[in-house]
Amino acid sequence: MFRKIRFRFILISSLAILAILISFISVFNSVRYVQNNGEIESVLRILSKNRGEFPRPEEINKEPEGKNLAVSVINQYQYYSFIIKNKKEVTSFNLQHIPDLTEEQAADYMRNINFNSKETGYFRRNHHFYAYKVTKLKQAGQQLVVVLDSTRFIDDRSELISLSVRMSLYSFVFFILIVSILSGFAIRPYIENYEKQKRFITNAGHELKTPLSIISANNDLQELMTGETEWTKSTKDQVERLTQLINRLVSLARLEEQADIVLKLVNFSTLTQDAAEDFKGPIIKDGKTFKMQIAPDIYVRAEEKSLFDLVTLLVDNANKYCDDKGTVKVTLSKTNSLKKAKLEVSNTYKEGAKLDYSRFFDRFYREDESHNHQTSGYGIGLSMAQSIVKIFKGKISVSYKNDTITFKVVL
């Protein structure tokens, strides 16, 4: 059990740090992306305003687009421009600021430029990324097209993404190692408290049995001397009740210590038949109806005694809380997938709509909050059933429909 808690602690912590790292990568690279695009657009606007050339350095920062540009790196930009007439005829090229590009190549790149629908855009040719801006000139039908080689911007972004992902991955692995080492220390107080609780329940159970035995013996002696009276009978009933409660608590504590119990194939059909049959006589005697629908040869991986206890607990609970002249029903079948067994134990209970079913598996929970004893029980039987199902790696649930409470176990 503690291994599962430790694993869950590591998993939740790792998912949390992973979410933080992913958020950091996304925000950091998004900011860089916006900055790069802003710089590209600023360069294109300045070039378009000045017919494909940068103005003098002292004038660049005077323009709104040039406030965020460093004058010292202007010479590092590679760009070219051309003027086109009627979207077909190129009247002039300016290739002074981009090396190794001929007019033939520039003319070929025109196929990637949209002169109709977009004022700006991007294209890729020969392993280079280009950004362009199309501006209408005053001369009729003429357009100025400025093309900026933005390869270094794209490369910088890609390198930043790669670096941030690698660093985040290394950090994530390092974090998992640290959390794995420290998780034992983190859950140690919980383990110690849990062990103390189990020892307290076991020790208290043993210590309480001695005075209960003495009380029982004294009560029996009193009955021998004066005969059975209302008071001796009440004392005997309460001694038996408290003894059963102690045994249940000790059994629950021991049960939770068997999280690593070895499971084997058990004939669930035969076991359910035997366990439910024990209640048939008392249920019918109380004027209730008892029904069983058990499919044959259903096997599950479980521990036989604990599985028998599970069926007994559920059927006993159904009998206790069934309406007078009501119906207790036990059904065993296979799920729709035919891979798992489904046990359903139900009983009619007209007042069940008022109950808080989310608390049914809480220890010492009773639907009668005053804890009167008109209905026998201690409020730990369903908690024991839940613990058994968890050991068998199954699921247990409760539902209410058509005046009937149904407990469903899937194993």
Express each pLDDT in 68-78 by its tens digit: 566 566 778 89
Instruction: Supply angle C-alpha 340, 345, 349, rounded to 5.
Output: 150
Torsion region of 165: left, alpha or beta (phi above 0 gives left; psi -120 to 50 gives alpha): alpha
Q: Which alpha helices (DSSP H) does 133-229 contain, by range?
A: 151-226
Q: Where in the chain is the domain with CATH 3.30.565.10?
A: 264-410
Measured distance CA(385)–CA(392) in Å, rounded:
11
Residue pLDDT, tens place only, 256-289: 655 556 788 999 999 999 999 989 998 999 899 9
pLDDT band at 58, cuts 50/70/90?
low
Rounded to an integer, the average pLDDT of 394-404 is 91
Q: 196 versus 269: which is more confidently predicted?
A: 269
Residue intervals in the chain for CATH 1.10.287.130: 185-256
CA 78 to chain centre: 51
Give the span between the Cα atoms of 388 and 249, in whole angstroms. 14
Q: CATH for 2-158, among 3.30.420, 2.60.40, 1.10.287, 3.30.450?
A: 3.30.450
The DSSP output letter for 263 is P
Report helix angle 381-391 to 304-320, nearest 10: 150
What is the average pLDDT value for the chain, to the nearest integer?
83
Q: Quickly state the pLDDT bin for 149 (edges 50, 70, 90).
A: very high
- Max mean pLDDT among 11-25, 118-132, 192-206 falls in 11-25
* Least confident stretch, 23-37, 232-246, 294-308, 371-385: 371-385
Q: Which CATH number fits domain 264-410: 3.30.930.10, 3.40.190.10, 3.30.565.10, 3.40.50.1470?
A: 3.30.565.10
Right CATH for 185-256 from 3.20.20.140, 1.10.287.130, 3.40.50.300, 3.40.50.720: 1.10.287.130
**Rounded to an integer, what is the distance from CA 222 to the centroid of its chain?**
61
Least confident of 132-146, 223-237, 291-305, 358-372: 358-372
* Single-letter amino acid, residue 4: K
Q: Determine the pLDDT at residue 377.
A: 46
Distances in Å between the Cα of 177 and the Cα atoms of 20, 165, 185 are 17, 18, 14
**Helix/strand/coil for 299:** strand
How much of the chain exceeds pLDDT 90, in percent? Answer: 29
Residue 177 reports pLDDT greater than 50: yes
Tokens 């710089």 locate to 39
pLDDT at residue 385 above 60? yes
- Tokens read off for 67: 């406030």
Tokens of 168: 């985040």
pLDDT of residue 69: 63
Choose from 128-142, 237-251, 354-368 the range with maximum mean pLDDT: 128-142
Dihedral sign, Cα of residue 381, residue 371, residue 240, residue 202:
positive
Which has more confidence, 53 or 74? 53
320-342: string of b/e by CB count within 10 Å (b at 16+)? ebbeeebbbbbbbeeeeeeeebb
Q: Is 268 left (phi over 0), alpha (psi -120 to 50) or beta?
A: alpha
Distance CA 58, CA 74 (A): 12
Residue 31 to residue 240: CA distance in whole angstroms: 73
Residues of the chain with pLDDT > 70: what percent?
Answer: 85
- Residue 400 dihedral angles phi and psi, to the nearest 5°: -135, 125
Given this model, what pLDDT does residue 332 score? 94
**Residue 298 DSSP SS3:** coil
